[in-house]
Chain A
Amino acid sequence: MALEAGKQAPHFTLNSTPDQKVSLTELRGRRVILAFYPADWSPVCSDQLPIYSELLPEFRRYGAEIMGISVDGVWCHAAFAKHRNLRFPLLADFEPKGEVARAYEVYRKKDGFSERALFVIDREGIIRWSYVSPIGINPGADGILEALESMEAKKS
């Protein structure tokens, strides 16, 4: 059940667009928010991600980058991001399918997609907060903001 606070965040390199990759190690020195979600276009995801988009200035104030991750492919992500006007990367955990979700222990094997799970990772690549939401429930952003605030207080 989802990697917990204190664990090293598993490394990954995933496509964010057809010709761009994002690698967790490149983000060392920044705080990182990973938002695993089941699928582009699902009603709950369509509510959840726009809230994060509105909060980008707030996340940046804490030196944090947010990324969405689902098993959808890059073209699907591109269409979804354009339709919802999302301003942060959506990573394609597409091939091998769900490999990164498995590494973070949030893959739902019987469904073939990930849990709705949030991870906040510190500047050294250590998970400082994680949360798995019931699949049909949008977790909002309060837990992320609280985690960032407490990390800021501890300078982690």
Chain B
Amino acid sequence: MSLKPPVGPQDHVQGNPEAPIELVEYGDFECPFCGQAYYSVKALQAALGDDLRFAFRNFPLAQAHPHALPAAQAAEAAGLQGRFWEMHDVLFEHQDMLDQPNLFGFAAALGLDMERFGRDFASPEVAAKIRADFLSGARSGVNGTPTFFVNGERYDGSWAPQDFIAALSSLAGGVAVPP
């Protein structure tokens, strides 16, 4: 099960662009498992440092989670002002506060241009970006949230922090060892 399309300029990416390990998450800001995985990814980033880069794609299960789509819109709208990751973090740290007044409150607290944020939040471009993320996930074999891809292949192992770090650092080791 491989990632389609590969990570590209359309993606939000954190970490060393030359890192040997690329982690992609398909996530839903209202999904409680994604909320747990958020802290696992943070632990992984701390443990692997420059060996890891991380991209996040939207996979909102909008009919199961009524705030998932607006939260994704807020993250993408913040992204258009260069602040995707800050909004991503705020959303996962406040999963029980994702109604629209709070989303706009988060944007204001980040110091975003609110007129632009409001426009982008409701724009067809942002909706299309989220839908494109969702469809790429469906094509790539996403079967729940969160679903992770490591170096382009679906990762079906445990993402509990210790397991995740062990699984991915062995990969980093493998890459670093000369043939």
* Chain A residues in the interface with B (C-beta under 8 A): 47-48, 50-51, 53-55, 58, 84-87, 137-142, 145
Contacts and interface: CB of A to CB of B under 8 A. Distances in A.
Contacts of B141: 140, 142
Contact of B138 (A48, A138, A140): A140
Contacts of A87: 63
Nearest to A44: B144
Contacts of B145: 47
Interface SS majority for chain B: loop
A139 B134 CA distance: 16
Given A47-B144, A51-B138, A142 B63 contact: no
B110 interface: no
A137 B1 CA distance: 13
A140 B142 contact: yes
A85 B138 contact: no
Interface string B131-167: 0001100111111110000000000000000000000
Given A50-B61, A51-B61, A86-B63, A145 B139 contact: yes
A50 B31 CA distance: 13
A61 to B, nearest CB: 11
Nearest to A49: B64
B144 to A, nearest CB: 4
B63 A139 contact: no
Nearest to A53: B63
Contacts of B134: 54
B143 A137 contact: yes
A85 B143 contact: no
Nearest to B68: A54
Given A51-B138, A55-B138, A58-B135, A138 B143 contact: yes
Contacts of A53: 63-64
B143 A47 contact: yes
Interface string B22-60: 000000000000000000000000000000000000001
B62 interface: yes
A4 to B, nearest CB: 22
Given A87-B63, A142-B141, 20 more contacts: A48-B143, A48-B144, A50-B61, A50-B63, A51-B138, A51-B142, A53-B63, A54-B60, A54-B63, A58-B138, A84-B63, A85-B64, A86-B63, A138-B143, A139-B143, A140-B138, A140-B143, A141-B138, A142-B139, A142-B140
Given A58-B135, A58-B138, A138 B63 contact: no
Interface in B71-130: none
